[in-house]
């Protein structure tokens, strides 16, 4: 089986494909973080979003080191105003091969354990419920 891992090229405008499919059939995604940082990755159209997120985390650009999430489940990909489902493919989301598509990549903050009370970093107590009269 050929290596289909993506290539990250944050400063490059021409992504390099490492997939076994021809460049015209490959999908290049430029991931845009909230900070404005960008990196381009190349995938097969049949890749699931879950697989894309795992490969992005595996090839996380060193320029993004301070924003690295703990797991692929912490990543969300936003395309045309909607979050892409993990079980969907790039192809099923109508992302066109042969062109570079810009998508937004958000990183979900780690969840706090609500059962142990406020963490030491909380400066004020927080409301745990809301009462509507």
Confidence of residue 16 (pLDDT cuts 50, 70, 90): very low
Alpha-carbon distance values, 18 to 14, 84, 103 (Å): 13, 23, 20
Q: Domains, the chain, ranges and CATH? A: 27-110 (3.10.20.90)
Tens-digit pLDDT profile for residues 84-117: 999 999 999 999 999 899 999 999 877 654 555 5
Its pTM stands at 0.67
Alpha-carbon distance values, 41 to 7, 108, 119 (Å): 5, 20, 37
């Amino acid at each position: 089986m050929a290596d289909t891992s993506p290539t990250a090229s944050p400063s490059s405008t021409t992504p390099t494909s490492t997939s076994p499919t021809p460049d015209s059939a490959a999908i290049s995604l430029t991931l845009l973080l909230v900070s404005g940082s960008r990196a381009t990755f190349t995938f097969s159209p049949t890749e699931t979003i879950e697989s894309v997120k795992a490969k992005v985390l595996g090839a996380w650009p060193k320029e993004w080191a301070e924003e690295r999430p703990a797991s692929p489940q912490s990543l969300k990909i936003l395309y045309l105003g909607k979050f892409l489902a993990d079980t969907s493919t790039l192809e099923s989301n109508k992302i066109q091969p042969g062109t570079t598509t810009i998508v937004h990549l958000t990183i979900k903050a780690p969840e706090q354990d609500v059962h142990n009370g406020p963490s030491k970093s909380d400066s004020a107590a927080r409301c745990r419920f809301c009462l509507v009269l």
